[in-house]
Amino acid sequence: MNDPGSVVNDCHLRTVADLYSGHHGWLYARLYRKLGNALDAADLAHDTFIRILASKVAVIEEPRAYLSCVAGGILVNWFQRKALERAYLQALASLPAPEVPSPERRLLVLEALYEIDAMLDTLPTQVKRAFLLSQLNGLKYDDIATQLGVSLITIKRYMKQAFLHCLMLVD
């Protein structure tokens, strides 16, 4: 007798295989047009199918719409990571030569920045803005309240929410 989980898994694998064989070229071309870089387009197309493979979805009614949605999310994350990387490299360029970290240290810092960015992205927009104004710009809570047009107590609530959120995700 067949294991029901095995049947579902086989169905999922066939669905992804069919999706890949029928639409990989289309997805790659679409990503290439957006990025202008064959290697990045190939990487993101690959990441899209890996995410779909991990999703366990068995039926896809509109394959190209589904691929566009999944790839779109991956593309947004990719652009955010690239922007973060550019900002970090720009900050490094302003350092005196003896203070520039080694390539290994730079990679570790970039990975930490990606994780922090992902954590902060799960916060409401205003909470994230208040937290970044405090932590990166060094603004006092009164100044943040003025800049965001909210009360001081709201900023204190935002900061508490941000700190608690980060603590929960670190554990």
pLDDT in tens, 3-52: 655 666 788 888 889 999 999 999 999 999 999 999 999 999 999 999 99
Which residue, chain included where needed, has tokens 């069919």? Answer: 18
pLDDT of res. 144: 95
Q: What is the pLDDT of residues 42-99, one digit of tens each?
A: 999 999 999 999 887 877 889 999 999 999 999 988 988 888 888 888 888 888 888 8
Angstrom CA distances, 68 to 28, 61, 84, 109, 132, stand at 11, 13, 24, 31, 31
Give the Cα separation of 88 and 116 in Å (integer): 13
State pTM to two decimals.
0.65
pLDDT of res. 66: 94
Q: Which tokens hold the place of 134?
A: 């405090």
pLDDT of res. 2: 53
Half-sphere exposure of 50 (CA within 13 A, CB side): 7
pLDDT of res. 7: 62
Q: What is the pLDDT of residues 110-145, one digit of tens each?
A: 888 888 788 888 889 899 999 988 987 889 999 999
Give CA 132 to chain center in angstroms. Answer: 17
**Are residues 120 and 170 in contact, defined by beta-carbon separation less than 8 angstroms?**
no
pLDDT of res. 120: 82
**Are residues 126 and 148 in contact, defined by beta-carbon separation less than 8 angstroms?**
yes
pLDDT of res. 93: 85
